[in-house]
Amino acid sequence: MSARLIKETRDLLPVFAGTLPLIVVTQLLWPPAGFSYLALGVACLAMAGSSFGNEFQHRTLSLLLSQPIARSVIWREKMLVLGTGMVTSLIALLVSLVVSGAIPARVDWLTLALIPLCAFCGTPFGTLLLRHGIGGMVFAVGAPCGILVVYAVVVEQLGGNEPDALVTAVLSLLFIYCAVVYWLGYAKFKRLEAVDSPSRNLSLPAGLEAIFVLPLTRISSRFRGPFATLLKKEFRLQHTSFLLAGLFFLVAVAGFCLTRAYPRVAEGIIGVDYIIFMLVLPFMAGAIAVADEKGWEIMPWHLTLPPSALQQWSAKMLAALSTGLGLGLVLPFAMAVADALLLGQVGPKTALPSVPVITCWLLGALLATSLAVYAASFSSNSLRAILMAMGLVAAGGVVCWLAGSCAAHIEARWMVLRMYAAQDAMRQAPKLVAIGLLLVLCVAQALAWSNFRRSAAPALEVVGQIAVLLLCAGFYTLIAVLATLGSRFFLG
C-alpha cells in the first residue's frame, strides 16, 4: 500500500472505527426501530465530510495539491479509500440485518444502496464548494431531500399515484443527481486553488450579513471588559451553529407554507427538519466551543491570557450551553407553537407537558452539549467530537438498558411487582430520568473541565474517564429501577 493510501486510511480510521459499532449494536439491540439506517447515514456522511474537510481543517490542502502527482490520481485514491469505508459499513449493516432476522424488502435494499451512494457523490462536492466539512455534510443531506420534495409536490399536483412508477422515478432522479454531483466534485477538485486559512467559515452573502450581523455588532460593542470580550469571542465561534439554525428556520417556514396545499409533503419536510436539527445542533454547539481552538493549536496560548482558566471555561460553557439549548430546543419548540397557533390547532384541550417532562427535555439538550464539550476536550476536530458524543449517548443507552434489565430481573420474582411495576415506572420515570440526566451532566462537565486545563490527556486516562461516565449512568439506572420497583413492593 502506498504512503498516500495509508495517509487517507489513517485519516478516516477514527470515524470508521467510531461509527461501525454504532451501526452493529443499534441493529442487534433494537432491530425494528430502524436506528441502524440512521447510523449508516451518519457514518457515510462523517467519512465523506472528513475526507476533504480535514484538509481544510488542518491546513494541509496546499501540501496535498503541491505534490508532483496528477490531481486525478489524488482524487481516485481519496475516493477509493472513502468508498472502501462506506462499503465495509454497508456490509456490516447487512450482516447485522441477517443476524437479527430483519431481511429488508426490495425497496429497503435500494434505500440501503442509495444512502452511501448519495453521501459518496454529494459530500465531497459540497465540502469543496463550501470549503467546510460540516457544510458539505449538510449539502449532501439537503440536496437529495430538496429533489424529493420538489418531485413530491409535482406528483401531488399532477395526481400521480402509481407506486411502482413513483419508485422508479425517484430512483432515476437520485442516480442522475449522484452522477452529476460526482462529476462536479471531480471538476471542482481539478481546478481547486490552495487555501492557507485553517477552514473557511460558512458565511452569508454580504447584503444579508450586513442586515443580521451589523445590529448585533453594534449592540455587543456596548459591552466591554475581559469577560464580555471572552463571551463575544465564544459566540463568534458559534457562527456555524447560527447559520444552521437559520437554515432550519427557512426549511421549517417552507414546510409551514406547504401545509394547506400539500399536507403530506409538508409533514415530511417539517418532521425531518426537526429531527435532524434537534439531534445535531446541541452536539455541534459543544464541539465547536472547544475542538476548533484545539485544532488550530491556540488553546495553550489562551491559557496564558490574564483571565483565569475558570473565567475562560465559564465563558465557553455559557456560550455553548445557551446556544445548544436556545437553538436546539427553544427555537424548534417556539416554531412548533407558532405553527399550531397559525393553523388554529391550539385549543382548550391542548396542554403543555408536565414540569418533570419539560425538565428532562432541557437537561437532555444540556447533556448533549456537555458530552460534545467533553469529547472535544480530547479531540482536535469538531466532526470527530460530534461523533464521539453521539457514540457516548449510544453507549450510555446500552449501559442503561442493561442495568434496567438487570434490575427488573432481580425484582421479577415478586408477583405484586409484575402487577404494579409498569404503572409505578411510568409515573416516576420523568423525575428519575431528570435526576439521572443531571448527575451525568455534572460528571461530564467535571471531566471536560479537568481536560481543559492541560494541553492533552493520556489515552488511558480518557478511557478511564469514559468508563466512569458510563458506570455512573448504569449505576444510577440500576438504583433508580430497583428503588421504583422496591418502593411499590414494600408499600403494596
Domain-embedded: residue 68:
yes
On the question of pLDDT at 292 being above 80, the answer is: no
- What's residue 237's pLDDT? 85
Q: How many domains does the chain have?
A: 1
Between 6 and 488, where is the model more confident? 6
Other CB atoms within 10 A of residue 138 CB: 23
Over range 330-343, report the average pLDDT. Answer: 80
Residue the block writes with cell 411487582: 417
pLDDT value of residue 362: 92
Write down the pLDDT at residue 418: 44
Place 162 in a pLDDT band, splitting at 50, 70 and 90: low
Q: Is residue 444 part of a domain?
A: no
CB distance 448 to 419 below 8 Å: no
pLDDT band at residue 422, thresholds of 50, 70 and 90? very low
Burial of 74 (0-12, 13-18, 19+ CB in 10 A): middle
Task: Look at residue 5 and tell me whether its pLDDT is greater than 80.
Answer: yes
Q: Measuring CA to CA, which residue among 138, 250, 249, 134 is closest to residue 200?
A: 134
pLDDT in the model for residue 84: 93
> Rounded CA gap, 313 and 304, in Å?
13
* Cβ atoms 379, 291 nearer than 8 A: yes
Q: Closest Cα to residue 166, out of 176, 179, 155?
A: 155
Split at pLDDT 50, 70, 90, the class of 374 is very high
**String of DSSP letters for 125-192:** HHHHHHT-HHHHHHHHHHHHHHHHHHHHHHHHHHT---HHHHHHHHHHHHHHHHHHHHHHHHHHHHTP
Of 7 and 318, the one with more pLDDT: 318
What's the whole-number mean pLDDT along residues 256-262?
A: 78
Residue 460 domain-assigned (yes or no): no
SS3 347: coil
Q: What is the pLDDT of residue 42?
A: 87
Say whether pLDDT at 323 is over 90.
yes
Higher-confidence position of 457 and 13: 13
At residue 441 the predicted structure's pLDDT band, cuts being 50, 70 and 90, is very high
Higher-confidence residue: 35 or 5? 5
Per-residue pLDDT of 30-64, as tens digits, reads: 776 667 888 888 889 989 988 888 888 777 777 88
The H or E element spanning position 83 is helix 71-100
As a whole number, mean pLDDT of residues 136-162 equals: 80
* Interatomic CA distance for residues 388 and 379, integer angstroms: 9
The model's pLDDT over 222-236, given as tens digits with 9 standing for 90+, comes to 667 788 888 888 888
**pLDDT score recorded for residue 371:** 94
Question: Does residue 81 carry a pLDDT above 90?
Answer: yes
Percent of the chain whose pLDDT exceeds 70: 80
51 belongs to a structural domain? yes
Q: What span, in angstroms and rounded, lies between the C-alpha atoms of 79 and 244?
A: 27
Does some domain include residue 134? Answer: yes
CA distance 455 to 303: 10
Q: Which of 243, 228, 220 is nearest to 134 (CA)?
A: 243
Which three cell numbers, joined as nine digits, stand for 100? 437479527
Question: Which triple of cell numbers denotes residue 474?
Answer: 448504569
Angle at alpha carbon of residue 9, lines to 299 and 98, rounded to 5°: 115
Per DSSP, 204 falls in state: -
Q: Mean pLDDT of all residues in the chain?
A: 80
Instruction: Give the Cα separation of 154 and 312 in Å (integer).
Output: 52
Give a yes or no: residue 6 inside a domain.
yes
CB-CB contact of 341 with 292 (8 Å): no
Which range marks the domain in which residue 67 is found? Answer: 1-193
